[in-house]
Amino acid sequence: MDALVLVSGRGSNLRAICRAIDDGRCEARIVGVVSDKRSAAGLGFAEARGIPTRVVPLEKGDDRDQWNVELGDQVASLNPELVVLAGFMRILGPPFLERFPGRIINVHPALLPSFPGHNGPKDAIKGGVRISGCTVHIVDDGVDTGPIIAQAAVPVLPDDTPETLHARIQVQEHRLLPEVIHRITLGEIELDPLKIKAAYADPSKFLSVPNV
């Protein structure tokens, strides 16, 4: 499975995917890392590993549709079979999404559909939930609304800050995301939103990956 990773920040999920590939836990090849931010640490990591990188910045006042087209051009030039959003902090629009239908997944630091958006761990603490976690889902044109592929849970502890909770969630992200990519490669997970929705009706076919 040729996968491309979109990052905006430190890229710990990108590193986790690469670690899993190196360890033989994830059958995939990272064909490129693309970012909207030149400063994204994930880019430096990718370069050091010899992975092609591209930057498509989005500045204030830029035309969003045009940015989506340019991002799509850069991603398409690397020929990925799968596009993985791992800490990519921009909302993708139809000009991008329509070029990679059913081939884009995202990892989110909350148990969707609760707490979508930029502050998953903070919102979970504010919401008073005792269990949170991470979700890997197909990307659609909403904010963290696409069909859920897999989830992993962590406890929310009484003294948690958004940072301590996020750190606990990330341990699970680093396990879950490479596992989902591996299962997509094996054909155990089909990125067909209709099939995933249908699987919800039959728990025996549910595509969640339990906690270890």
Catalytically active residues, by annotation = 108
Binding mask 69-88 for ligand GRF (x = CB under 6 A): -----------------xx-
Among 3-11, 44-52, 66-74, 122-130, which window interacts with ligand GRF (CB under 6 A)?
3-11
**Considering the rule CB under 6 A, would residue 147 count as an interface residue with ligand GRF?**
no
**Residue from the set 12, 68, 151, 185 that interacts with ligand GRF by CB under 6 A:** 12
- The answer to whether the beta carbons of residues 75 and 68 sit under 8 Å apart is no
Going by C-alpha positions, the residue among 209, 203, 187, 174 that lies closest to residue 23 is 174
**Considering the rule CB under 6 A, would residue 108 count as an interface residue with ligand GRF?**
yes
Distance of alpha carbon 194 from alpha carbon 64, whole angstroms: 29
Going by C-alpha positions, the residue among 138, 116, 135, 112 that lies closest to residue 193 is 138
Q: Which is nearer to ligand GRF, 46 or 134 (CB)?
A: 134
DSSP 3: E
**Residue 176 DSSP SS3:** helix
DSSP string of 141-161? Answer: SSSS-SPEEEEEEEEPPTT--
**Considering the rule CB under 6 A, would residue 133 count as an interface residue with ligand GRF?**
no
**Residue from the set 6, 11, 36, 181 that interacts with ligand GRF by CB under 6 A:** 11
Q: Which residue's CB comes closest to ligand GRF?
A: 87
**Considering the rule CB under 6 A, would residue 109 count as an interface residue with ligand GRF?**
yes
- The answer to whether the beta carbons of residues 55 and 34 sit under 8 Å apart is yes
Closest distance to ligand GRF from the beta carbon of 120 (Å): 7
Interface contacts to ligand GRF, rule CB under 6 A:
7, 9-13, 86-87, 107-109, 134, 170, 173
